Amino acid sequence: MDQIPQAPNLHFVQASIVVYNIDEAGDPVVWPSIEEAKNMWSKLMDMSEATQKKWMQDSKTLLQQQIMKLNKKLDNLKAENYKREITNIISQIGGGHRKNLNDLSPEMVKNVKREVAKLREAIRNRIIELHAQGASSSVVVAPQVEIVAPHASQFDLNEHPLV
């Protein structure tokens, strides 16, 4: 019975609680009220059986669904974090803060190379697009040469990544 006052914390969830005390005679305790509980149950009973089952889940099923949703969200966050990690490594290389890739796993090195290749391809495509548009005289398009930071010569980022 001590938990019932906490029930209003079920914001935006239609719920009712009926507590019967077998040892004592008297009326059951109902939340939010007997009338509201009857209305909720009446609406539920008017629904098809399939819809009823959808709304009447046991706690185990509900928790399993929440775990699945949270696992999916976790997987998405891990993928996003991995992409940010690759972007950070590329920034470190470009800024001269990273001297080598020795501390990275082979998979990470492969993915860094793949991302560098994608970025280089995007730059090449943009240059071609600007040339095709006859870029205005205020825009200077660099010739298509390999541009890398002087310290980056020790990285073989021009090598095509193994896919």
17-56: per-residue pLDDT in tens? 778 777 777 777 888 888 888 888 888 788 888 877 776 6
Instruction: Decide if 100 contacts 154 (C-beta within 8 A).
Output: yes
- The burial of 116, by beta-carbon neighbours within 10 Å (0-12 exposed, 13-18 middle, 19 or more buried), is given as buried
Classify residue 48: in a domain, yes or no. Answer: yes
**30 and 75 in one domain?**
no
Print the domain residue range for 32.
17-56
Classify residue 152: in a domain, yes or no. Answer: no
Classify residue 34: in a domain, yes or no. Answer: yes
Classify residue 101: in a domain, yes or no. Answer: yes
Tens digits of residue pLDDT in 113-161: 999 999 999 999 999 988 888 755 455 555 555 544 545 555 555 555 5
Tens digits of residue pLDDT in 53-108: 776 666 678 788 889 999 999 999 999 999 999 999 999 998 999 988 999 999 99
Name the domain count of the chain: 2
For residue 87, the tally of other CB atoms under 10 A from its CB is 13
Question: Taking every pair of C-alpha atoms in the chain, what is the biggest distance, in angstroms?
Answer: 93
**79 and 21 in one domain?**
no
**126 and 71 in one domain?**
yes
14 closest CA partner among 44, 48, 50: 44
For residue 157, the tally of other CB atoms under 10 A from its CB is 19
Q: What confidence score (pLDDT) does residue 75 get?
A: 98
Classify residue 138: in a domain, yes or no. Answer: no
**85 and 124 in one domain?**
yes
